[in-house]
Amino acid sequence: MIENQDASSMDVPNSDIKEYLQKLLAKSGSIFNHSTTVPNSRKIAASHIFANEMGVWCKVLSQRREADLLKVAILEYEFALLALTQGHYRHAFKGLRLVLELILQAVYLSANELLLREWIDNRADTVWSSITDKDESVFSQRFAKAFFPELTNHVQHYRQLAVNLYRECSECVHGNTPKFIPLPDCLNFDQSVFDLWHSKASILFMIAHFVLSLRFLSDLSETDVSYLEPFLSDRLGHLEEIRKLLGGPAKG
């Protein structure tokens, strides 16, 4: 639905479909201008950098099959960001959920090649409950103990963050009464929803870098770690276990 005051002008009898869509496009264009004017442009830039960071993960994991999933996640993330700038908020949040799902799925499947191959061949589906399962998922103690034991104490917290973020973004998929994400009911710029998206995205960044570090960081060469270090220090430097691995100081 588009903004109410514009509705009458949309009802021009001879308006063809192209003309109608052009009006929506023009409206999206004006929202785009709001979204990309300072200070909002700064917020966009700060969120866009996540795509570059994921690109570095893809680069260091390029020999692994699951890197393809991460590439899809990057593309979807950029689509979500583009939707956000044009005021397509529901799609922007849905995109965020998909990116979360893809990254968690990539990490989960990286530890199970049979499932990974089945998933790529479309013979297995993503089951959210299994990728966040307490005992079997990337957030399980078992998974942490196998790949980065020092992070075992943190997995429960990050699992909760992932579950909450997924639930909140799911509102935008199901379209039920909003509890966490109050979307505008027409095509219009909405500062609070715009800000909310960035706030949810920043949670996604933490979860994504955490699970990727949990799974791969201990196994990477020093050179590969050095590619990741500039942004991992910013994103997860507050976790002593990761900071130490990146060459930073211990607590105390």
Partner 1 sequence: MANLIIRTEDIRPEYILDLYVDTTQDKKIVELLKSPTPTILEGSRGTGKSFLLRVTEAHLIETFEEKRILPIYVSFVKSSLLQSGDPNQFLHWMMARLCSRIIRSLYQTGLLARPASPVSLLTGGQVGFDAKETPLEKVAKEYEETYKRPGALIDSSNIPTVEDLKDAVEDICRERGIERLSIFFDEAAHIFRPEQQRQFFTLFRDLRSPFMSCNAAVYPGVTFYGHTFQTTHDATPVSLVRDPIEQGYLKGMRDIVQKQADSELSAEIERHRENFHALAYAVSGNPRLLLKTVGMAPRLRAAEVKKILKEFYRTDIWSEHSVLAEKYVGHRALIDWGREFIEKTVIPDSIKKNEQWEKEQKSETTCFFWIHRDAPAVVYEALRMLSYTGIVTQIDTGIVATRGEIGARYAVNLGCLAAPSAEPIPALTKFGRSLAIKRFTEYGANHPAFAGLTSVVGDFQEIDISSVLARELAKSIDVLDLTTYQKSGLHSIGLETVGKALQASEAEFQKIDYVGPKRSRKMMNIVIASVLEFLSG
What minimum distance in Å lies between the beta carbon of 203 and partner 1? 12
Any idea how long the chain is? Answer: 252
What minimum distance in Å lies between the beta carbon of 94 and partner 1? 17
Which SS3 state, helix, strand or coil, does residue 2 take? strand
Q: Which amino acid is at 230?
A: P
Please say which residue, 5 or 223, places its beta carbon nearer to partner 1. 223
- Rounded Cα–Cα distance for residues 35 and 82 (Å): 10
| 199 scored as a contact of partner 1 (CB under 8 A) | no
| 46 scored as a contact of partner 1 (CB under 8 A) | yes
The single-letter DSSP state of residue 249 is P
CB atoms inside a 10 Å sphere around CB 102: 22
- Rounded Cα–Cα distance for residues 183 and 181 (Å): 6
Per-residue CA distances from 209 to 56, 57, 103, 214 (Å): 11, 9, 9, 8
- Rounded Cα–Cα distance for residues 195 and 244 (Å): 33
Site for partner 1 (CB under 8 A): which residue of 10, 51, 111, 115?
51
Please say which residue, 53 or 171, places its beta carbon nearer to partner 1. 53
Binding mask 88-127 for partner 1 (x = CB under 8 A): ----------------------------------------
Is the alpha carbon torsion for 29, 35, 41, 47 positive or negative?
A: negative
| 14 scored as a contact of partner 1 (CB under 8 A) | no
What minimum distance in Å lies between the beta carbon of 246 and partner 1? 7
Q: Which amino acid is at 59?
A: K
Site residues for partner 1, 68-87, by CB under 8 A, read 71, 74-75, 78-79, 82
Please say which residue, 37 or 160, places its beta carbon nearer to partner 1. 37
Reply yes or no: is the peptide bond before residue 39 cis, omega within 30 of 0: yes
Binding mask 16-45 for partner 1 (x = CB under 8 A): ----------------------xx-xx-xx
What minimum distance in Å lies between the beta carbon of 77 and partner 1? 9
Is the alpha carbon torsion for 219, 225, 227, 232 positive or negative?
A: positive
| 234 scored as a contact of partner 1 (CB under 8 A) | yes
What minimum distance in Å lies between the beta carbon of 81 and partner 1? 9
Burial group, residue 218, by CB count within 10 angstroms (0-12, 13-18, 19+): middle
**Binding site residues, partner 1, CB under 8 A:** 38-39, 41-42, 44-46, 48-49, 51-52, 54-56, 58-59, 62, 67, 71, 74-75, 78-79, 82, 223, 226, 229-231, 233-234, 237-238, 240, 243, 246-249, 251-252
